[in-house]
Chains A and B, each alone.
Chain A
Amino acid sequence: MKDILSLSLREVAAAIRAKKLSSLEATRACLDRIREIQPFTNCFIAVEEEEALRAARAADRMRGKSARLGPLHGVPLAHKDMYYRKGRITTGGSKILRNYRPDVTATVVERMQRAGAVWLGNLNMAEFAANPTGHNDHFGHCRNPWNTEHISGGSSSGSGVAVAARACYGSLGSDTGGSVRLPAAANGVVGLKPTYGRISRHGIMPRSWSLDTVGPLTRTVADCAKLMKIIAGADANDTTCSAEKVPDYEKALTGCIRGLKIGMPLNHYYEEATDDVRRCMSASLDVLKSLGARIVELKVPDPQRLFDLSNAITQVESAAIHGRWMRERPQDYSLMMLARTEPGFHLPATVYLQALNARPRLSAEFIEAVFSKVDVLHAPVMPMPVPTIAETTPRQAGDVQPMIRRLTRNNRPANFLGVPSLSVPAGFSANGLPVAFQLMGRPFSEALLFQIGDAYQRVTDWHGQAPGI
Chain B
Amino acid sequence: MTRIQADLILLEASQLRDIKLGEARATELAADVQRVCDAATEVSQQADFNDEPARFTATLLRLGKTKSRP
Contacts and interface: CB of A to CB of B under 8 A. Distances in A.
A373 B63 CA distance: 14
A197 B60 contact: yes
Contacts of B18: 327
A301 to B, nearest CB: 12
The size class of the interface chain A forms with chain B is 35 or more
Contacts of A358: 40, 43-44, 47, 51
Contacts of B48: 361
A364 B63 contact: yes
B70 A375 contact: yes
Interface string B19-39: 100001100110011011111
A423 to B, nearest CB: 20
A346 B30 CA distance: 9
Contacts of A372: 68, 70
A346 B60 contact: no
Which of A261, A346, A350 counts the most B-chain CB atoms under 10 A from its CB?
Answer: A346
Contacts, number: 134
B35 A363 contact: no
Given A261-B70, A398-B28, A443-B61, A357 B36 contact: no
Given A309-B40, A327-B17, A375-B70, A242 B33 contact: no
Main secondary structure of the interface of B (DSSP, over half): helix
Given A342-B29, A354-B44, A374-B70, A360 B51 contact: yes
25 contacts: A197-B60, A240-B57, A242-B61, A244-B64, A305-B42, A309-B43, A343-B32, A343-B33, A345-B12, A346-B12, A347-B33, A351-B41, A354-B47, A355-B43, A356-B53, A360-B53, A360-B55, A360-B59, A371-B70, A372-B70, A375-B69, A375-B70, A443-B64, A444-B61, A444-B64
Interface of B: 8-9, 12-13, 16-19, 24-25, 28-29, 32-33, 35-44, 46-48, 51-53, 55-61, 63-66, 68-70
Interface of A: 195-197, 240, 242, 244, 261, 305, 308-309, 311-312, 315, 327, 342-343, 345-348, 350-351, 353-364, 367-368, 371-375, 397-398, 401, 418-419, 442-445
Given A356-B56, A360-B56, A363-B60, 13 more contacts: A197-B60, A305-B42, A305-B43, A343-B32, A346-B12, A357-B52, A358-B47, A358-B51, A361-B51, A364-B63, A373-B70, A397-B25, A444-B60
